[in-house]
Amino acid sequence: MPRYINSLLSRFRRFILFAMDMVVICGAYLFTWMAIGGRRSVEEYFSITVASCFLFVSCYGIIFYATGMYDSLWRYAEIIEFFRCAASSVAAVIAFMAISMLIFQEKRVPVTVYALSAALASSFTLYTRLTYRMFRNTKISAMGKKRRRVMLVGAGDAASTLLHELNKNTSKEMNIICAVDDDANKQGRSIIGVEILGTTEDIPNLVLQCQIDTILIAIPTLDGQNRKRILDICSETNCSIKTLPDIVKIIADGKDLASRITDIKVEDLLGRDPVILPDEATQLIRDKVVFVTGGGGSIGSELCRQIADIGPKMLVIIDIYENSAYAIQQELKRKYNGDLNLEVRIASVRDTKKMDALFDEFRPQVVFHAAAHKHVPLMEDAPEEAVKNNVFGTYNCALCAEKFGVEKFVLISTDKAVNPTNVMGATKRICEMIVQNIAQSSEGSTTFVAVRFGNVLGSNGSVLPLFKDQLAEGGPLTVTHPDIVRYFMTIPEAVSLVLEAGAMGEKSGEIFVLDMGEPVKIVTLAENVIKMSGFIPYRDIDIVFTGLRPGEKMYEELLQDEEGVRKTANSKIFIGSPLKMDTDRFFTDLLQLKAVAYENDREALMRKLKVMVPTFNHEIIEY
């Protein structure tokens, strides 16, 4: 039945609106006569009252219809619609006055009737439209009480556009309660009916006062530093956090604003601005033959993307895992459509003869060595595999680089190599020692450098994808310890800095250390993942502490005690001074390590690792 009624209303909409206007206008005219002369006046001038009322209503009806007043939808009416209504009313009154003066010559309509009836009729027609629009857009109902109470951060163009759209299409999920803005001139004012109650510093207090469920950041142009500051403040609350994208992009996409409200990316919490590569970094790559080992991994694939953007003579991707290698190959083929000279080879860096053959075939000028086993718990269970792949994969590639005259060899290292407490970290420290010792003993032209950084958000097997998977399953999220902290960096930023550090390396054997910013508590990261997914931590989604895993530290370090540090032109890149080592002794130890690794003698292997890396403490250390 309701659907049938709606169909009838839609079919006869114009007629219904016209009839409503005529009733309102007629009522306004008769009320004017009553207000001026009372009941006696109406009885005395009954004939002229009825005749002039008919003329008055006719003038309004004809002009309203002619000016298209019944073609637009009232609930979508903007300011221009109300101006049109006012202009049509003025035209109708002028027409009424002109015609009535010609027709009613003996008993003319009083001048006050012209003025007051016109004012009342115009006002009433405007009010009916405004009332209808407010009724349709507000939709006061029990369902409205269940909508999330939302605070807007920012009271500028983006917020204004959103509020306009929500006035047209009421959201069943959002109820905008208040706004905050750091502009002092906006304090105490309102934006389209929403009060601006304070600044971003007041967010925690206002959340409690106004019982806010969701914080919507409506400042698409925020830079990284201010975005991080605001997100840090919002993270002090239990609200879910969402963001409004750039309006210009939305217009280009042709999509409505409300539907484009998205969850905040956890990467935004790092407050990192994009890294712009200097000319030196592009010169390292442009028109060169570049190898990327482990090119299908998280870091390796992003290296391939950024290298391809610079324009190498040839990009050669080497990876043992064909699925990931195929994925990045197809991505680059789609993007460059034949403009990139790309080769992909499925091969293991452990295979000495295969690496030798690939270096001989392509004669690379720059090598980024990203191939490695990196998962700490898995490598604790298979230390011999970590040594075979990480240590001797690096050794094979470094020897090939020296043999075939590679200009620059860049090792991707990790902060876990500093005072390692796990096998993976110990093997990466030996990888650093390999490039330093080859650099120290080599008489060739190859420059060997290593780049050391912490965790990258979103990489395969890292904590962020794990949290998202656990969240998708309904929780709980698992954290090993409530106080454990890690350095984090986005993958694109890490790779950009790797390219820049690689270009900086002039003295062979240098270790570049990337500024990872402030360490982040893993439990805080877990809480923010929950909030930014629209849930409340510990209420909607729980966090469970599982205990430290074998070889896991409470926090990571980027430099060893004996390593000094020098600044570079980039404030985010530092150089750790190479340590003095006995090269002959090192290579002797390396041969012995290889022997025990391929014998799969785990106990002997662990003893040898501790000999080669004196800072290796394989116990779980709590700081």
Residue 289 belongs to what H/E stretch?
A: strand 289-293
Distance linking the first and last C-alpha atoms of the chain: 71
Q: Is 403 a known active-site residue?
A: no
What is the Cα 233 distance to its own chain's centre?
17
Query: Do 350 and 398 touch, CB atoms closer than 8 A?
Result: no
- CA-nearest of 34, 12, 24, 32 to 127 is 24
* DSSP calls for 478-526: EES-TT-EE-EEEHHHHHHHHHHHHHH--STTEEEEE---S-EEHHHHH
Residue 136 belongs to what H/E stretch?
A: helix 111-138
Query: Do 311 and 339 touch, CB atoms closer than 8 A?
Result: no
Cα–Cα dist 245/258, whole Å: 10
Query: Do 518 and 255 touch, CB atoms closer than 8 A?
Result: no
Cα–Cα dist 549/299, whole Å: 24
Residue type, 376: V
Instruction: Give the 3-state secondary structure of residue 420.
Output: coil
Cα–Cα dist 557/517, whole Å: 12
Query: Do 220 and 159 touch, CB atoms closer than 8 A?
Result: no
Cα–Cα dist 270/224, whole Å: 8
Query: Do 328 and 317 touch, CB atoms closer than 8 A?
Result: yes
Q: Tokens 């699925």: give the residue.
A: 323
Instruction: Give the 3-state secondary structure of residue 7.
Output: helix
- Residue 563: how many CB atoms within 10 A of its CB? 16
C-alpha dihedral, 293 to 299 to 301 to 307, nearest 10°? -80
Q: Which residues of 320-354 are buried (b: 16+ CB within 10 A; e: fewer)?
A: beeebbeebbeebeeeeeeebebebbebbbbebeb
Instruction: Give the 3-state secondary structure of residue 199.
Output: coil
- CA-nearest of 304, 214, 335, 350 to 492 is 304
- CA-nearest of 428, 384, 429, 432 to 606 is 384
- CA-nearest of 304, 292, 294 to 328 is 304
Query: Do 165 and 216 touch, CB atoms closer than 8 A?
Result: no
Instruction: Give the 3-state secondary structure of residue 177.
Output: strand
- CA-nearest of 412, 398, 392 to 593 is 392
Candidates 228, 388, 408, 416; catalytic one: 416
- Residue numbers annotated as active site: 416
